[in-house]
Structures are given as C-alpha cells and as structure tokens.
Chain A
Amino acid sequence: MDTALQYTFDWNLVLSGERLDWIVQGVITTCQLSGLSLVLAMLLGTLIAVMRLSGVRPFVWFSVAFTEFFRNTPLLVQIFFWYFGSDAVLPDAVNQWLYKQNFEFAAGVISLTVYTAAFIAEEIRSGIFSIPRTQLEASRACGLSFMQAMSYVVLPQAFRIIVPPLISQALNLFKNSSLCMTIGVMELTYMARQIESYTFHGFEAFTVSTLIYLCISLMVSLLINLYNTHFLRTIKY
C-alpha cells in the first residue's frame, strides 16, 4: 500500500516544454471565456434589471422569473443544459451557426453569461433602489422619458455604488469559468486535469493552476479594497 503511493515531485515536468504551453493556453482560454461572458452578462444583466424596474407587467414578470430561475439552479446543470439540450430550445438557424463555431466554448459562454447576468441584474437593481426615487421623479418632471431618466440620471449614479459588488461578481465568474472543463473547454482547470492524467503529477499541475487563480483573484480584491477606501466613502446621498 505505502509503496504504491510513493510520490516524487517534479516541477520541471509542469513548468517546461509542452506542459507549460498547455498551462499558458489554458490561462488565455480562461481569460477569453470569462472576459467575453462578463461583457455579455453586464449587458444582459442591465437589461433585465431595467425591465424589472420599468413597471410594465410582462417585463417585470419575465425579469423576476429569469433572475429567480437562473440564480437558484446550479451552474453545472445549466452548462449541461446548454451543451446537450440547446438544440431543442434555440432556433434552428442559431444552432447551425453555433455548431460552426467552437461549440464547447459557445455553450460555456452562453451558460456563464446567463448565470452571471441573473446575479448582476440583482446587484444593479439593488444599486438603483439605493438611489432615492425622487431622482427619477424629478427627471421625469423635467421632461425626460423613462429611458432617458434611467440612462442619464439614475444609472450613472447607481453604477458607482454597484462597482464593488459587480467586481466580485466578475471574480465569481472568473472562478466559475473552471466548470466549463466538464464540457471540454480547454481552460486552466482542464489543462491541469490533462497534465494530471498524462503524467500522474497532479500535485504540481494543481499547485500551479491554483496559484494562478489565487494571484488574479487576490489582485482584483485588492483593487476593490482600494476603491472602497479611496473612492466610495466620498459619495454621499
């Protein structure tokens, strides 16, 4: 038993040649995956939040159903749903187009976008709620339309408050992108797993990838703290 588990560390195996290329490629894919999803999720999330606040019944219902459903189901299940089952729910033309792309990557982006958008929508909604309602009423009284009042008066103020929670959602997205390895997106975790199965040197591979995740996360949370201490406290309502 003991002899079977003898383990010698070999850092060179992971940090040189082809294996290093895998890791670098994995980091690039992780960044592409989370970057693209973040941009799309911000757009979708803002849209959903504005729908919720619009007061138009069907929009409000849709937005509530969207946020509740996607926040309360596991991301992994959503990934499987889009990857295995999307052809039954998406229009045919969209499917044909998706199959021509890198389908794993596309399914990953769709699921990360939709999942994160639900969380971002809630953050934006609570940010907008923290702006006194009189701001909206005053701008409507000035003759701005609802959309104008939102985009020129309320949202610019709300976004300053929303920035820290948005950044932590971005961090969550970055960490969640690791789940896309299950459908074969070759991002950082997938590469670590691949090195593990090629060389049986999982320890080194997982250490390196853990450190990469950790460095990026810690740097970003340092930025949030700086933002909080130097910028946020100057805002008064």
Chain B
Amino acid sequence: MQWDVVWNNMNYLLVGSYPDGPLGGMAMSILLAIGGIFGAFWLGLAFGLMRLSEKWWVRAPAIVYVEVIRGIPLLMLIFWFYFLAPIALGHTLPEAESALIAFIVFTGAYIAEIVRAGVLALPAGQMEAARGTGLSKTQAMLFVILPQALRNMIPSFVNQFVSLTKDTSLAYIIGVSELTRTATQVNNRTLTAPTEIFLTIALMYFVICWVLTATSRRLEKQMARYQART
C-alpha cells in the first residue's frame, strides 16, 4: 500500500490548485452541491405547487417536467446541457456552469415530488380551516400550509442533498475538476496507487454524506413531535 501518494496529493484533492489556479477537488464538489440544492429548492417548490394546481394547464407542464426528468439518467441530462447548450444558446457554457444547471434541473424534479407529497400529507382540514377564516387560496398556501409542510419536508430535503452530493461526481464526465476528477488526475499521474486513492475519496464523500444522513435521522425524530393532527 502506498498511502504517501494520497498524502502528498491531499491538498490537491481538497481544494484543487487553488489559490494558484482554479478551485477544484472536494471544495468544488461541495460548492456544486450547495449551489445545486439551493437552485433546485426554488425550482422544485414552483413545480411541486404547480402540480397541485386545479387548472390543468398549470398542472400539465409540471407533470411533464417531473416525469421526464425522473425517467432519464442524470448523465444524459448533463450531456444535454453540455453538448446542446451551444446549439440553443449560440455560445458555449463553462463546464461547471452547465453541470450546475443540469444538477438544478435534475434535483428540482425530485424536490417537486417531495413538495407535493409534503403538502398532500397535511390534513385537509388545515386548508379548509384557513379558507374558512377568510384567507385566499394563495394566502392559505403561503401562511398556513407551506410553513407546516416545509418543516415536515426537511428530512427529505437533507436526503436529496445527500443524493446530490454523490451526484456531483458525475460532473467528472464533462471535465469539471471536482473531487472525482482530481482523484482520476492524481491516479493517471501516479498510476501506482489506484486502490488507495479511490478508497480515500470514497471515504471523503462518505464523511460528508454520513454526517448529513445522521442529521436527517435526528431531524426526523425531532419532527415527529410537531406533526399536525387530523
């Protein structure tokens, strides 16, 4: 075993060639994940609520979006945004940006389903009571339903964040220098310690994801106390 290969390149694995060059490595993965979940939250919230609408022409685009995105591999979506954005936009996008857009669009579809399930899980009496006190539908949604529903959704959001953190490794394919890509670069340069290198980055991902999963489990237990009753 040649752990010194990993040790000598640890800095590169953590932050890439920053501060002398572009940011990369684990820092880049984390940035992609945070940016992705932030964008996906708003996109997912919008489409999740659209799917709950009573008007079919609001519902239809949300259904198509969610079903199509959930039906194709993320890798396909990344290729779509990377190779085909130039055709649609007329100019090329930097790799990291097109990967980030793909992550947002992909995760947004899953978040939309979480939002829908979260809103539907609230007792119907909540909406009826809010409407009964004279709130409009939008007001009832904003001030009564969503505050409760979103709180119940937090564990699911964390789980989705874990998935996204793992998915950021796919940005490797179009050449974003995040953790997996820096690891393959180190591996290609040294060629002697693939097992050690990939085991190390697996552990790095594991630490991030496991901390998040553990948090989500704790939150789930805490949330159980605040459930709205039927």
Contact = CB atoms under 8 A, between A and B. Distances in A.
Contacts of A80: 180, 183-184, 187, 194, 198
B131 interface: no
A182 B173 contact: yes
Interface string B154-175: 0000000010001111101100
Interface string A192-227: 110010000011001001100110011001000000
Contacts of A21: none
A206 B84 contact: yes
Nearest to B207: A72
Interface string A60-79: 00000000110111111110
A33 to B, nearest CB: 13
Interface residues of B, number: 44
A68 B210 contact: yes
A218 B67 contact: yes
Contacts of B184: 80
A192 B84 CA distance: 13
Contacts of B83: 196, 202-203, 206
A74 B76 contact: no
A95 interface: no
B21 interface: no
Contacts of B70: 217
B169 A203 contact: no
Contacts of A77: 169, 180, 183, 198, 201-202, 205
Nearest to A2: B90
B62 to A, nearest CB: 16
Contacts of A1: 90-91
Interface size class, chain A: 35 or more
Contacts of B209: 72-73
B72 A213 contact: yes
B206 A210 contact: no
A160 interface: no
A142 to B, nearest CB: 35
A152 B88 CA distance: 58
Nearest to B167: A74
22 contacts: A1-B91, A5-B87, A69-B206, A72-B205, A73-B202, A73-B203, A73-B205, A74-B168, A74-B202, A75-B166, A75-B169, A77-B180, A80-B184, A81-B195, A81-B199, A84-B194, A85-B194, A88-B194, A179-B170, A202-B84, A203-B83, A213-B71
